[in-house]
């Protein structure tokens, strides 16, 4: 089979590797759609692990199941999760599944930017979700990023009538905008220094989409007469984080949804935060099985129009072009890799 072996953002090599052999309790999946995630381009995070096969926003077809696998059969259309929690530890029992030590040790072999993956027993048992009949493979590949967004918005508790600011209008920001709109947000402002992204933010639900973060507060006051109830940061740049704090109302919640580069710091006046603002600042990471199930339901119900967010569909041997598109950020919103498209079989 063919794989895309990642050495750096500018060095992704198409290589040949035997199709993985499965064992009892495992399954083999033919990957038919795999989205490129912004986290795939965090070169500093991958540097000590290369080469490796990335890709975790995956959907495909069950090809083979091992002994003891009774909930799956060849031909099933599925989303497969690379990280799965044990659902038994203290973290899982308290709703912090993404802090589960099992989740951080699980993955599939080799990765979603390949023609086939082997799912270990725990992934096969807890991390495979059937795709609804009216959902395509490429739509289903959005289940993972949408599930992360669901987890974030559940944490901050977006309610009907909320004023929401989303800073960063790449695919994570656009999914947040679309979900906030679906959940009844009254007013949504999107902000991104990349002006080419602003029309997408408006298309998928932002009432106002602007480049200049310093004007967010004025736009809020002009339109609804108050500051933001919820601020979602889909970038970890310190200037963006600072802008997010400046647009948040007293008693609001701020979600740090994206990592920053190592050793990044932001100054916060704790005295004002304590005495004046009474704000909640929180983070979320990844998703849980229940988040993935909800994401697939929202996609099936067409409440989040993920198909309209796809700007590029590429074959596996075009993946360097796909990474370049995402790195550049000017032409693409979502790039879907089709590892088994004709020409790469």
Judgement on whether residues 176 and 238 belong to the same structural domain of the protein: yes
| Residue 288 included in any domain | no
Taking the CA atoms of 142, 259, 319 and 289 in sequence, report the sign of the dihedral they define: negative
| Residue 290 included in any domain | no
Judgement on whether residues 81 and 104 belong to the same structural domain of the protein: yes
Mean pLDDT by runs of 10 across the 345 residues of the chain is 98 98 99 98 90 98 99 99 98 98 97 99 98 99 99 97 98 99 98 98 99 97 98 96 96 96 87 90 97 99 99 98 97 98 60
Chain-centre distance for alpha carbon 120: 22
Judgement on whether residues 73 and 132 belong to the same structural domain of the protein: yes
| Residue 110 included in any domain | yes
Judgement on whether residues 49 and 17 belong to the same structural domain of the protein: yes
Q: What is the pLDDT of residue 272?
A: 87
Residue whose C-alpha is closest to residue 176's, from 163, 189, 166: 166
Q: What is the pLDDT of residue 163?
A: 99
Among the residues of 76-197, which ranges form H helices? Answer: 90-93, 121-126, 137-140, 143-156, 171-182
CA distance 13 to 195: 32
- Taking residue 239's Cβ as centre, other Cβ atoms within 10 Å add up to 12
Residue whose C-alpha is closest to residue 336's, from 147, 140, 49: 140
Judgement on whether residues 218 and 254 belong to the same structural domain of the protein: yes
* Distance set, CA 19 to CA 56, 76, 132 (Å): 18, 19, 27
| Residue 344 included in any domain | no
Q: What is the pLDDT of residue 267?
A: 87
Judgement on whether residues 174 and 138 belong to the same structural domain of the protein: no
Judgement on whether residues 11 and 129 belong to the same structural domain of the protein: yes
Judgement on whether residues 119 and 12 belong to the same structural domain of the protein: yes
Judgement on whether residues 178 and 136 belong to the same structural domain of the protein: no
* Distance set, CA 62 to CA 4, 137, 286 (Å): 21, 13, 24
Bridge partners (DSSP) listed for residue 254: 231, 281
Q: What is the CATH number of the domain that holds 135?
A: 3.90.180.10
Q: What is the pLDDT of residue 269?
A: 87
CA distance 289 to 278: 32
| Residue 294 included in any domain | no
Q: What is the pLDDT of residue 345?
A: 41
Judgement on whether residues 198 and 319 belong to the same structural domain of the protein: no
CA distance 244 to 233: 7
Judgement on whether residues 220 and 182 belong to the same structural domain of the protein: yes
What is the extent of the structural domain holding 94? 2-142+304-338
196-228 as b/e: b if 16+ CB within 10 A: ebbebbbbbbbbbbbeebeebbebbeeebeebb
Q: How many Cα atoms are found within 13 Å in the side-chain-facing hemisphere of 142? A: 32
| Residue 122 included in any domain | yes
CA distance 152 to 158: 10
Q: What is the CATH number of the domain that holds 226?
A: 3.40.50.720
Judgement on whether residues 156 and 137 belong to the same structural domain of the protein: no
Q: What is the pLDDT of residue 92?
A: 98
Among the residues of 225-318, which ranges form H helices? Answer: 238-247, 270-272, 289-300
| Residue 133 included in any domain | yes
| Residue 22 included in any domain | yes
Q: Which two tokens stand for residue 303?
A: 């409440």
Q: What is the pLDDT of residue 344?
A: 44
- Count of domains observed in the chain: 2
């Amino acid at each position: 089979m063919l794989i895309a072996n990642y050495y750096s953002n500018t060095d992704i090599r198409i290589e040949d590797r035997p199709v993985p052999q499965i064992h009892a309790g495992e399954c083999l999946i033919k990957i038919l759609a795999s989205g490129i995630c912004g986290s795939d381009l965090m070169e500093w995070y991958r540097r000590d692990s290369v080469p490796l096969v990335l890709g975790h926003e995956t959907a495909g077809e069950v090809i083979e199941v091992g002994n003891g696998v009774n909930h799956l059969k060849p031909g099933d259309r599925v989303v497969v999760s690379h990280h799965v929690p044990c659902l038994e530890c203290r973290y899982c029992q308290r709703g912090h599944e993404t802090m589960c030590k099992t989740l951080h040790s699980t993955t599939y072999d080799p990765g979603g930017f390949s023609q086939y993956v082997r799912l270990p027993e725990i992934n096969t048992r807890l991390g495979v979700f059937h795709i609804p009949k009216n959902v395509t493979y490429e739509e289903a590949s959005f289940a993972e990023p949408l599930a992360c967004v669901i987890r974030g918005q559940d944490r901050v508790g977006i309610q009907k009538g909320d004023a929401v600011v989303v800073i960063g209008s790449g695919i994570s920001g656009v999914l947040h905008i679309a979900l906030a709109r679906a959940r009844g947000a009254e007013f949504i402002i999107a902000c991104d220094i990349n002006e080419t992204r602003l029309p997408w933010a408006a298309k998928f639900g932002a009432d106002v989409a602007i480049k200049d973060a310093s004007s967010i507060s004025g736009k809020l006051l002009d339109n609804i007469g108050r500051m933001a109830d919820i601020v979602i940061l889909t970038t970890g740049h310190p200037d963006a984080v600072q802008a997010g704090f400046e647009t948040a109302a007293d008693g609001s919640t701020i979600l740090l949804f994206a990592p920053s580069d190592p050793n990044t710091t932001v100054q916060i006046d704790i005295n004002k935060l304590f005495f004046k603002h009474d704000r909640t600042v929180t983070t979320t990471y990844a998703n849980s099985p229940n988040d993935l199930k909800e994401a697939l339901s929202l996609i099936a119900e067409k409440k989040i129009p993920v198909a309209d967010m796809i700007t590029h569909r590429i074959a596996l041997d075009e993946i360097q072009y796909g990474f370049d598109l995402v790195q550049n950020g000017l032409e693409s919103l979502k790039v879907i890799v089709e590892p088994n498209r004709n020409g790469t079989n």
